[in-house]
Structure 1
Amino acid sequence: MTATAQKTAAQRSAEDHVPLRRWLGVAAIAAGTFSVVTAEQLPVGLLTTIGGDLHVSEGTAGLMVTVPGLVASATAPLLPVAIGRLDRRIVLIGLISLMVGANLLSVVAPNFGILLALRFLIGISIGGFWALAAGIAVRMVPGRYVPRATAIAFGGATAANVLGVPAGTLIGGLTDWRIAFLTLTGLGLALIAALVMLLPAMPASDPVRLRSLAEQLRNPVVRAGVLATFMLVGGHMAAFTFISPILQSVSGIDEELVGPLLLAFGAAGIAGNFITGAVAGRNVRVAIITNSLLLTGVLALFPVIGGTAVTGVALLLVWGLAFGGVPVAVQTWILRAAPDATESATALNTSMFNLAIALGALFGGLVVDGVSTNGVLWFGAVVSLLTTAAVMTAPKR
């Protein structure tokens, strides 16, 4: 009996062991999500500079965020269907290569029209990579490590949302916006090498069909998850797209301090990712509701008490903490809602995430132009608050 128990324990230990190379592969996927999401949102902190250089308004320059977001939202559910059983490793490498090429050409784009066409290609890379990344990451580790692998993989998306944009803003402010794009191109080349070396062959275990996407839309728990994604990300992006003018006009912060402050925002977001990941591992509903209420509170309070540099910075850090946990929280919800159809459900969630980025930026711009920067903060707060109702009324899984 004792020998059998010892043998069983040894077998469990062997099954739970994850080679370092596998964890490095998960880290490479995280770097990939960082790269594609940074590529999508890089223009956020550079709209004024890009608009001035290419002779378009800030509102028109904002299409650099809207276009790839819309393209990614369409690509995310369709690309997994189109590629069938093709090795996911090859697809990921191809998508990052597409991003690298588009970013490199952006560096030398002579006018805004060509730059916008290249942003279309960026959207394909974003939607495809993100839709496949989570499913691959969780296949690389045993079941008990799936929450950790998810947190790491989507830590890349969080880092992009809260560090990629600030870093790009800082580089662009110190040099030129084209140098920021060139820097991301270099990161992409290094990432291609890492994916080639670290990812094993990943044939599709169960190819995504259009029918399976429709089935997941009929799953009420998945529907609640993608709705939460849309409202949280949309509310955030409506305001965050205009974070530079918000900090300057509401809190009176000098323009040259925006880049460093957004890096602090990013550090808070990284902390939020791993704190939320730990909470979501125990109770994902609580994790999403907590982040929703925090984000709502920050956006609602910014016009009220954010009128000084001190309070503005404090609210910015809480904002980073709150939104930093959103990607891992909603993805954990989706994985639990559809354990037997992770690629299909993740594709839908990725589509909604990117649609929210595009529409959040678009409607945020309309509110800023038609109302004020304070108005866009209130708008974001209302949209984010709706997440709480969606999650609280969702059936349990």
Structure 2
Amino acid sequence: MAQTERIAGGARGASRARGGGWPAVAAVAGATFTVVTSEMLPVGLLTPIGGALGVTEGTAGLTLTVTGLVGAVSAPLLTPLLGRFDRRPVLCGLMAVLAAGNLLAAWSPHFAVMVAARVLVGVGMGGVWAVAAGLAVRLVPERSVGPATSLVFSGIAVASVLGVPAGTYLGELADWRTAFTAAAGLALAVLVALAVLLPALPAEREIRLGGVLRLAGNPRVATGLGVVALLVTGHFAAYTYVRPVLEEVSGAGPSAIGTLLLVYGLAGVLGTFVSGAGAARSPRGTLLVIGPVLAGTVCLVPPVGGSVRTAAVLLAVWGLSYGGVSVATQSWLLAAAPEAREGASALFVGVFNGSIALGAFAGGLVADGLGVGAVMYLGAALAACTLVLTVRGRP
């Protein structure tokens, strides 16, 4: 252990000497923001994407399912596969894959091409997210590792709550293809920032797939992954179809939906930092609040969200609660396996994105079979189950 700490400390010192520090941390946070924004982009654009490509809204939701599934598989596979390579060119290469996927999505003449594009986005997203999570400790002095790690994770959390309204607004101002083109441009800009600001980051130790998978047998890790699965599946079963739900329940038009999603996003950013502060003290206590609040709010959307004003209040509370999910669950997992940060992060990314895929798929089945309003009750039920697991599971 002492040898590991000396190696990590030497790597951090070398990194700072060669141009690391907070600018490099900000570049990594920009990468996590970009990959998750790219993943979430279809949520606010389902209606125009479905119309342009000639598919139902439930089928259009598969654009999120495919990306989540690929991200879930690619994260634990790419982590050991790329484990021996310097992290700087790895991240730059993955950002190039992400840019290519977004450009292909913008060009898509039919749904099959869109699915292929979203596969590329899933590969880039899964790899970047898994690699980036463990880099803060190598870029800043030891006393700054905590805040730097929070900044890297905030890119994921902020993208989860702001990427969708940003894409929705851009799609309304221009069209959905422009939103994907903008995401590709952002990926290329971040690629340049990573190439300029990151120091050389050679691999510190070999990572094997078996070692990553064995972490799932740790009871504390397993509990954290279970909480992630329930919360994220429930959220995305509902949130993937939030646009058609708002159109049906509250009668909101495109411009009003953009505003409502912006309210959700701003509340989510606040929730990210509020929950981050709480999770630093007690991830379990923070999740005991997040689960019931998220479940109750989502459940109330169909019966009481009939006006735009009421819908705005509900979306604000929804965003406030969900904004803390990634920070709280990541804090749980990193505390459960502090000696295997990249492995725990790879599992987290795999479960998180598999849950996104499962939630979007299950929500699509319910939306096509029972109507879009029913997806809210499905999401609420799954989120409510986290209370039992958090209380009874290994903290």
3-state SS in 1 of match to 2:32: helix
Q: Distance in 2 between matches of 1:254 and 1:180?
A: 19
* Structure 1 partner of 2:145: 146
Aligned pairs for 1:95-174 within 5 A: 95-174=94-173
- Report the alpha carbon displacement of residue 42 of structure 1 after superposing the two structures with TM: 0.7
| Contact 2:95/2:191 (8 A) holds in 1 | yes
Q: Distance in 2 between matches of 1:32 and 1:25?
A: 11
Deviations 1:251-300 (A, max 9, x none): 23233210122112111111111111111111111112211121111112
- How many correspondences in the alignment? 381
- Report the alpha carbon displacement of residue 370 of structure 1 after superposing the two structures with TM: 1.7
* Structure 2 partner of 1:8: none
Q: Which amino acid aligns with 1:194?
A: A
User: CA distance change for structure 1 residues 310 and 83 in 2, over 3 Å: closer, same or farther?
Assistant: same
Q: Could you tell which deviates more after superposition, 165-174 or 296-305?
A: 296-305
Aligned pairs for 1:182-221 within 5 A: 182-221=181-220
Q: Which amino acid aligns with 1:86?
A: F
* Structure 1 partner of 2:66: 67
3-state SS in 1 of match to 2:317: helix
* Structure 1 partner of 2:333: 334
Q: Distance in 1 between matches of 2:381 and 2:18?
A: 45
Q: Distance in 2 between matches of 1:31 and 1:211?
A: 30
Q: Could you tell which deviates more after superposition, 322-331 or 56-65?
A: 56-65
| Contact 2:299/2:376 (8 A) holds in 1 | yes
| Contact 2:133/2:345 (8 A) holds in 1 | yes
- Report the alpha carbon displacement of residue 250 of structure 1 after superposing the two structures with TM: 1.9
- Report the alpha carbon displacement of residue 325 of structure 1 after superposing the two structures with TM: 0.9
Aligned pairs for 1:155-304 within 5 A: 155-304=154-303
- Report the alpha carbon displacement of residue 170 of structure 1 after superposing the two structures with TM: 0.9
Q: What is the RMSD computed on CA atoms of the aligned residues?
A: 1.9
Deviations 1:131-158 (A, max 9, x none): 1111112332344433322321121112
Matched, 1:35 2:39: no
Matched, 1:364 2:363: yes
Q: Which amino acid aligns with 1:319?
A: W
Q: Could you tell which deviates more after superposition, 98-107 or 337-346?
A: 98-107
Q: Distance in 2 between matches of 1:185 and 1:47?
A: 19
| Contact 1:272/1:325 (8 A) holds in 2 | yes
Q: Which amino acid aligns with 2:176?
A: W
* Structure 1 partner of 2:9: none
User: CA distance change for structure 1 residues 218 and 201 in 2, over 3 Å: closer, same or farther?
Assistant: same
Q: Could you tell which deviates more after superposition, 242-251 or 100-109?
A: 100-109
Q: Which amino acid aligns with 1:208?
A: I
- Report the alpha carbon displacement of residue 238 of structure 1 after superposing the two structures with TM: 0.5
| Contact 1:87/1:203 (8 A) holds in 2 | yes
**Unmatched runs of 5 consecutive residues or more in structure 1:** 1-13
* Structure 2 partner of 1:80: 79
Q: Distance in 1 between matches of 2:18 and 2:322?
A: 32
- Report the alpha carbon displacement of residue 43 of structure 1 after superposing the two structures with TM: 1.1
3-state SS in 2 of match to 1:373: coil
Q: Could you tell which deviates more after superposition, 119-128 or 373-382?
A: 373-382
TM-score (norm 2): 0.92
| Contact 2:47/2:244 (8 A) holds in 1 | no
| Contact 2:18/2:200 (8 A) holds in 1 | no
Q: Distance in 2 between matches of 1:264 and 1:31?
A: 22
| Contact 2:18/2:199 (8 A) holds in 1 | no
| Contact 2:100/2:120 (8 A) holds in 1 | no
Q: Which amino acid aligns with 1:132?
A: V
Q: Distance in 1 between matches of 2:17 and 2:166?
A: 33
Q: Which amino acid aligns with 2:105?
A: S
Q: Which amino acid aligns with 2:225?
A: V
Q: Could you tell which deviates more after superposition, 110-119 or 63-72?
A: 110-119
- Report the alpha carbon displacement of residue 222 of structure 1 after superposing the two structures with TM: 0.6
Q: Distance in 2 between matches of 1:200 and 1:395?
A: 38
Q: Distance in 1 between matches of 2:17 and 2:90?
A: 24
- Report the alpha carbon displacement of residue 71 of structure 1 after superposing the two structures with TM: 0.6
* Structure 1 partner of 2:8: none
3-state SS in 1 of match to 2:264: helix
| Contact 1:147/1:281 (8 A) holds in 2 | no
| Contact 1:80/1:207 (8 A) holds in 2 | no
Q: Could you tell which deviates more after superposition, 48-57 or 352-361?
A: 48-57
Q: Distance in 1 between matches of 2:208 and 2:100?
A: 29
User: CA distance change for structure 1 residues 20 and 264 in 2, over 3 Å: closer, same or farther?
Assistant: farther
Q: Distance in 1 between matches of 2:28 and 2:89?
A: 13
* Structure 1 partner of 2:310: 311
* Structure 1 partner of 2:24: 25
